[in-house]
Amino acid sequence: MKTPEFTHSLSDLAPGESATIVSIQTDDALRQRLLALGFRAGKHIEVIRRASFSGPLQVRIGTTDILLRRQEAAKITVNKP
């Protein structure tokens, strides 16, 4: 069991911070889409930037940059090194 201090949701990361995906707690449709875009447990993920006015996040997994909304990012648990 990981201690809560090290586990965050993806939406909490600041631009430039990176982490490792721990789990994805979403409905099936979003989960499949995220899987296909490379979101898998153990993968390295970096937050590139956050849009103003609580807009979406730009994240990078491998060679793919992805936009997702904060509420969706909140459902992805990550581990900060």
Q: How far apart are CA 73 and CA 21, in angstroms?
A: 11
Residue with tokens 């490379």: 38
Task: For residue 25, state whether it binds other proteins (rule: CB under 8 A).
Answer: no
Question: Any contact of residue 33 with other proteins (CB under 8 A)?
Answer: yes
Using CB under 8 A, which of 68, 78, 79, 81 touches other proteins?
Answer: 68
Judged by CB under 8 A, how many residues of this single chain contact other proteins? 31
Question: How far is the C-alpha of 29 from the C-alpha of 55, rounded, in Å?
Answer: 22
Site map for other proteins, 35-54, x if CB under 8 A? xxxx-x-------xx-xxxx
Q: Are 35 and 21 a contacting pair, CB within 8 Å? A: no
What gap in Å lies between CA 39 and CA 62, rounded to an integer? 10
Point out which residues bind other proteins (CB under 8 A).
26, 28-30, 32-38, 40, 48-49, 51-56, 58, 61-69, 72
